[in-house]
Amino acid sequence: MIKKLHHLVLFLFSTLSLAQVDVVYNDLVWSDEFSTNGAVDNSKWFHQTQFPVTGGWYNNEQQHYTNLITNSFANNGELNIVAKKETFTDQGFTKNYTSARLNSKFAFKYGRVDVRAKVPKNQGTWPAIWLLGKNVNEPGGFFASTFGNTNWPACGEIDMMEYGIFPSAPVNFIQSTLHTPSSSGNSVNHGGMLASSDITDNYHIYSMNWSPNQITFLLDGVAYYTYNPSVKNASTWPFDKEQYLLLNIAMGGVAGNIPSTFTNASMIIDYVRLYQNTTPDTVAPTNFTASLGSVTSDTVELLLNATDNFGAITYQISGGATQTAYGTSGVQKSVVISGLAPSTNYTFNISASDASGNVAINNPLTVSGTTLSNVNTECFGTSTLASQGSFSTGYKYRFETIGTDVKITFELLDTDKTGVVAYLWKQSPFTETSMTNVTGKIFSSTITGQTIGSTINYAVKFAYAGGLSVTKYYPYVVGNACVLGVDNFSASRESIYPNPVENILNLKLSENRNVITLYDFSGKKLLQKDIKANAEIDMSSYPSGNYLIKIENSKGLSSHKFIKK
């Protein structure tokens, strides 16, 4: 890789927009299935072996790249890129390791790349699937002698997949990064995901979806990071020119020390496929609908749907907030508008279009909703509301002011999520910060130097094997202790269902002695009683609306919000 400086402490999922593909590319225009055994197809691939700097490669890497068949070959429908421990002399320098670095002889602008691969995890190796601008002037590159008129990073670099250079990340975590003049080397433009199974023993599909508007990265079809700067110029968006693919394994340098026991490591690639749309899209989205979903004191949920021949829908929302959301054709999209005022009617105008600018014939649709009355529950609670992805059980949240600092704690209650890490999202201006794991699936972060009486808005992204889910944004008034108390984040698991409830609310608790207190959303106490581990509450006589139930036992105090139909 060209990058002179690289990620030193990087286990973040930074995003400039929510991860979602905006253009679906359908037509296969270039590929390699590696179906012929032996040497790599030289009509499609170029072996880059020339040092770009005196004596070696960037980043203090320790390998020679070669065109030897022992370092790159096809066998049984698979490309093998092999890094080996061996003494090799070339260009007047002797190295102790060899590997291969392949350039595609095909360059393109916009499209989707899918690479199905097994990736080595050996200490000291740096496997990568990535792209560089065709205009990069790197010595020895396939296109450099003819088109190389632009320095790095002005040429743009798209790292689809890298592994081995993130020492703080868990095993099987892969990362994608953008390098531009606005941020390069230790770039802030990156995101990652934990694979659902071992990346060396199992094939995974690493994808990059590049449109004129954004670049989205996917692992096994799950989008986890989108780069979409609000201002696109030569500094932030050099991605308006052709790029070419690179496949390689580097050794040492920022990948760390190479153990003396290392002998070889292979990246095995089943296929490389590039898709574009060769036929212009002139068909507008159809069946566009918009309706009101769940409503709280500060959020309104919009339920949107439309169909399109290229599979992706862009929704433009104006009214109580201006927002762009991306959806999949025929799949209902939930958009939670947060940070709203309580007891206020909001009207939203929503338009649907596809990536080619074709608009739905019934644009715009109007949806109205009134937020509920306010209640001092912003300090703590339990919810299933998501601004991205979804929750099977939900999560707990808690805000606590300590001096001029605010401690924020979230606990994921979903039992079907593994390998969980959490990141604190600030709403405006958007920032993302890694949270500290307290225990289990409880994560905490403290923001310092806050102004008493000011309102802050934060959400949490939970990333896990196979995907991610983001909570709604929660507003919190700094200094507010909340009259209803503070949640105790115990290790207990409590189940309150169904939610919404029509008649009977079921409680399944971890202890046999509990005190429950029921409140409406004005904070009025409606009921208090002792219950055992399994109990029912008859809600049939209560009016429709939002309620809060507090549960106190030997493990502490917890709270749950629910809706009465």
Angle 20-126-146 from CA coordinates, rounded to 5°: 80
Same domain? 200 vs 339: no
Query: Letter for the amino acid at 207?
Result: S
In angstroms, the CA 204 to CA 417 distance is 19
Say if 486 falls within a structural domain: no
Q: Is the distance from CB of 563 to CB of 532 less than 8 angstroms?
A: no
Segment 427-484, tens digit of pLDDT: 878 788 899 999 899 999 999 999 888 888 899 999 887 677 888 888 888 877 664 4
Share of the chain above pLDDT 90, in %: 52
Does residue 335 sit in the same domain as residue 197?
no
The closest of 56, 246, 275 to 136, measured between CA atoms, is 246
DSSP secondary structure string for all residues of 297-363: SS-EEEEEEEE-TTSEEEEEEESSS-EEEEEETTS-EEEEE-SPPTT-EEEEEEEEE-TT--B-TTP
**Which helix (H) or strand (E) covers residue 145, if one does?**
helix 144-147
Residue 44 has pLDDT above 60, yes or no: yes
Cross-strand bridge partners of residue 407: 400, 446
Answer yes or no: is 528 within a domain.
yes
DSSP string spanning 429-476? TTEEEEPEEEETTEEEEEE-SPPTT-EEEEEEEEEETTEEEEEPPEEE
| Cα–chain center distance at 350 | 25
Residue-level pLDDT at 493: 61
- Nearest partner of 308 among 338, 330, 285, judged by Cα: 285
Quick one: 459 and 511 in the same domain? no
Domain final position from 314, 345, 370: 370
Does residue 264 register a pLDDT over 50? yes
Regarding whether 510 and 463 lie in a shared domain, the answer is: no
Cβ-proximal residues to 277 (8 Å cutoff; 6+ apart), any chain: 23, 25, 26, 27, 310
CATH number at residue 222: 2.60.120.200
Instruction: Verify that 416 and 552 share a domain, yes or no.
Output: no
21 lies in some domain? no
- In whole angstroms, give the CA distance from residue 534 to residue 474: 31
Three-class SS of 55-101: CECHHHECEEECCCCCCEEEECCEEEEEEEEEEEEECCEEEEEEECE
Distance CA 461, CA 226 (A): 15
Residue 385 has pLDDT above 90, yes or no: no
Q: In terms of Cα–Cα distance, which of 491, 545, 161, 540 is closest to 375? A: 545
Query: Residue 554 — very low, low, confident or very high, per pLDDT cuts 50/70/90?
Result: low
Are 332 and 435 contained in the same domain? no
CA distance 199 to 419: 14
The residue whose two tokens read 């230790």 is 186
Could you tell me the maximum CA-CA distance found in the chain, to the nearest angstrom?
Answer: 88
Residue 329 has pLDDT above 70, yes or no: yes
* Residue that finishes a domain, picked among 370, 395, 413: 370
Least confident of 140-154, 260-274, 401-415: 401-415
Bridging pattern class, strands 405-412 and 300-307? unpaired
Tokens of 451: 């102004």
Q: What is the DSSP letter of 147?
A: H
SS3 527: strand
Query: Token match 């809706």: residue?
Result: 563
Tell which residue, 469, 401, 459, has the closest CA to residue 435. Answer: 459
The whole-chain average pLDDT of the chain stands at 87
Q: Look at the chain and report how many structural domains it folds into.
A: 4
Give the CATH number for residue 416: 2.60.40.10
Q: What percent of the chain has pLDDT over 70?
A: 91
* 133 in the same domain as 174: yes
Mean pLDDT check: name the lowest of 95-104, 149-158, 483-492. 483-492
- Residue 558 sits in a domain whose CATH number is 2.60.40.3080
- Judgement on whether residues 335 and 256 belong to the same structural domain of the protein: no
How many angstroms separate the Cα of 365 from the Cα of each of 319, 352, 371, 396? 12, 9, 20, 34
How many angstroms separate the CA atoms of 472 and 530, rounded?
A: 32
Residues 421 and 527 in one domain: no
Domain membership of residue 156 as a residue range: 27-276
> 93 and 224: one domain?
yes
Mark which of 370, 395, 422 sits at the end of a domain.
Answer: 370
Within a domain: residue 100?
Answer: yes
Evaluate whether residue 5 is within a structural domain: no
- pTM for the model: 0.63
In a domain, 18, yes or no: no
- 3-class SS of residue 213: coil
Whether residue 206 sits in one domain with residue 155: yes
How many CB atoms are located within 10 Å of the residue 520 CB?
Answer: 17
Q: At 520, which amino acid appears?
A: D
Cβ-contact 396, 489 below 8 angstroms: yes
419 and 441 share one domain: yes
Q: Which residues contact 350 (CB under 8 A, 6 or more apart)?
A: 290, 302, 304, 315, 316, 317, 318, 364, 365, 366, 367
**Does residue 111 sit within a domain?**
yes
Q: Can you say how many angstroms the Cα of residue 93 is from the centroid of all Cα atoms in its chain?
A: 42
Q: Is residue 16 part of a domain?
A: no
Q: How do residues 48-72 score in pLDDT, each as one tens digit?
A: 999 999 999 999 999 999 999 999 9
Instruction: Please name which of 324, 316, 368 lies closest in space to residue 347, comparing C-alpha atoms.
Output: 368
Above 90 in pLDDT, residue 409? yes
